[in-house]
């Protein structure tokens, strides 16, 4: 419009000496009419865009209310943090967990919910997990002015912008103090159950005989369960640790061998007749058998891999869940297995295992220390 008015102005100045300004009126009216039509079209387009924006805003508001409702009604406690780890929102479960109102939580640093003596360590761990986007739970000691400190399992999720900068974080918090107490009570009951029983000691590499009328329960160390193939090849069937039972009645294999893996293995024998009469003893045994079942499924998943490298990697992950202990850079296998034993468990050869472990080291997947213990890197 400005450009057209400017052109009309220049034309009126140029033709002022030749023709009257009245000759320019038809041209001006025509220009104004065209501009008016274009403005009407633009106005209609703006009105249509405004309707679309209103509709989009309505949909977004409905989605926001729906997710806000899900956030508030979630069974676990959720606390959202900004880039400075300041609390921006907390759902109802969080207020119930800390026995306070949202007003006492909002706009406060999350570290105020951690005991003073543990705050520095928590802040460092939170920053570390925000950088590596670790989705594994970790245990934290939390408290509020209205309740005593309690053990909690915390799971972190991080939202980033297009440049990778942290925009917000969300913590899912579960009170595990009851579970901790139950585990401590279970451990005490097991210790009380076994403390007065005689123990049988075996050294590393020694074969452990199976008794026909009793069940072995591991008190200390690790033992290997294996069988032999028709060509005298050994196949690992499981690794049994403290609190896990084994006996002849728990297998259908005709050849079943039990070998001590640790330097010292301590076992106690429980007669079958006694198990039938003691319900608390039956519960301990049932939990151990359940662990054996889970371990057997994990070992079956190893055999299902076609490539030897995939089988060995899967086996290392299985051993990580069974005998792994967390360290700074990953998980260290507390039990040292020979290359032959790894080959037996992953259905391959010792030479292949040696080659693959070397490749995994060069790829940064594992490290092997001077005591030959394997550490699976994060």
Task: List pLDDT tens digits, range 120-136.
Answer: 999 988 888 888 766 77
User: Does the pLDDT value for residue 171 go beyond 80?
Assistant: yes
Give the residue, 155 or 178, on which the prediction is more confident.
155
Average pLDDT over residues 210-220: 87
Pairing status of strand 264-271 against strand 200-203: antiparallel
Note the pLDDT of residue 264.
92
Inter-residue contact 373 to 336 (CB < 8 Å)? yes
User: Does the pLDDT value for residue 354 go beyond 90?
Assistant: yes
User: Does the pLDDT value for residue 263 go beyond 60?
Assistant: yes
Helix (H) or strand (E) holding 239: strand 234-240
Distance CA 265, CA 248 (A): 19
Burial (CB < 10 A; 0-12, 13-18, 19+), residue 242, is middle
Q: HSE of 141 in the Cβ direction (CA atoms, 13 Å)?
A: 9
Note the pLDDT of residue 136.
72
Instruction: Give the residue extent of every domain in the chain.
Output: 2-69, 75-175, 183-377
Task: Write down the H helix ranges in the chain.
Answer: 2-14, 25-73, 92-98, 102-105, 119-132, 177-195, 272-277, 279-303, 308-323, 339-345, 350-362
Residue closest to 378 by CA, chosen among 135, 125, 166, 154: 135
Pairing status of strand 330-333 against strand 324-327: antiparallel
- Binned at pLDDT 50, 70 and 90, residue 1 comes out as low
* Beta-carbon count within 10 A of 374 CB: 23
Query: May I ask the CATH class of domain 75-175?
Result: alpha beta
Burial (CB < 10 A; 0-12, 13-18, 19+), residue 9, is exposed
Identify the DSSP state of 206.
-
Helix (H) or strand (E) holding 377: strand 374-377
From residue 182, alpha-carbon distances to 176, 207, 332, 334 in Å are 10, 35, 27, 25
What three-state secondary structure class fits 122?
helix
Classify domain 183-377 by CATH number.
Answer: 1.10.10.10
Distance CA 288, CA 245 (A): 6
Average pLDDT over residues 217-229: 88
Is the pTM for the entire model greater than 0.85? no
What are 21-74's pLDDT values in tens digits?
A: 556 666 766 777 777 788 888 888 999 999 999 988 888 888 888 887 877 888
Note the pLDDT of residue 356.
93
- Binned at pLDDT 50, 70 and 90, residue 353 comes out as very high
């Amino acid at each position: 419009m400005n450009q057209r008015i400017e052109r009309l102005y220049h034309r009126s100045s140029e033709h002022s000496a030749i023709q009257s300004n009245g000759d320019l009126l038809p041209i001006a009216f025509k220009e104004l009419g065209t501009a008016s039509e274009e403005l009407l079209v633009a106005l209609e387009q703006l009105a249509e865009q405004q309707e679309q924006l209103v509709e989009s805003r309505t949909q977004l508001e409905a989605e926001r209310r729906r997710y806000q409702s899900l956030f508030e009604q979630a069974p676990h406690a959720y606390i959202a943090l900004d880039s400075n780890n300041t609390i921006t929102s907390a759902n109802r479960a969080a207020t119930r967990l800390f026995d306070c109102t949202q007003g006492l939580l909002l706009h406060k640093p999350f570290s105020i919910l951690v005991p003073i003596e543990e705050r520095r360590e928590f802040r460092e761990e939170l920053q570390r997990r925000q950088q590596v986007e670790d989705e594994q739970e970790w245990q934290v000691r939390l408290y509020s002015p209205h309740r005593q400190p309690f053990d909690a399992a915390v799971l972190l999720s991080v939202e980033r912008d297009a440049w990778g900068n942290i925009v917000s974080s969300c913590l899912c918090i579960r009170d595990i103090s009851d579970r901790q107490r139950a585990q401590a009570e279970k451990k005490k009951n097991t210790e009380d159950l076994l403390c007065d029983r005689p123990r049988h000691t075996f050294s590393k590499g020694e074969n452990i005989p199976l008794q026909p009328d009793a069940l072995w329960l591991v008190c200390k160390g690790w033992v290997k369960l294996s069988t032999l193939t028709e060509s005298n090849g050994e196949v690992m069937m499981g690794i049994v640790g403290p609190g896990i039972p084994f006996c002849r009645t728990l297998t259908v294999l005709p050849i079943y061998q039990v070998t001590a893996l640790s330097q010292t293995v301590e076992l106690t024998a429980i007669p079958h007749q006694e198990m039938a009469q003691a319900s608390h003893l039956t519960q301990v045994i049932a939990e151990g058998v359940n662990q054996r079942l889970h371990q057997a499924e994990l070992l079956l998943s190893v055999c299902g891999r076609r490539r030897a490298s995939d089988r060995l990697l899967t086996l290392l992950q299985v051993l990580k869940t069974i005998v792994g202990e967390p360290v700074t850079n990953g998980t260290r296998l507390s039990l040292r297995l020979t290359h032959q034993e790894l080959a037996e468990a992953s259905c391959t050869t010792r030479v292949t295992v040696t080659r693959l472990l070397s490749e995994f080291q060069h790829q940064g997947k594992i490290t092997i220390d001077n005591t030959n213990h394997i550490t699976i890197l994060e």
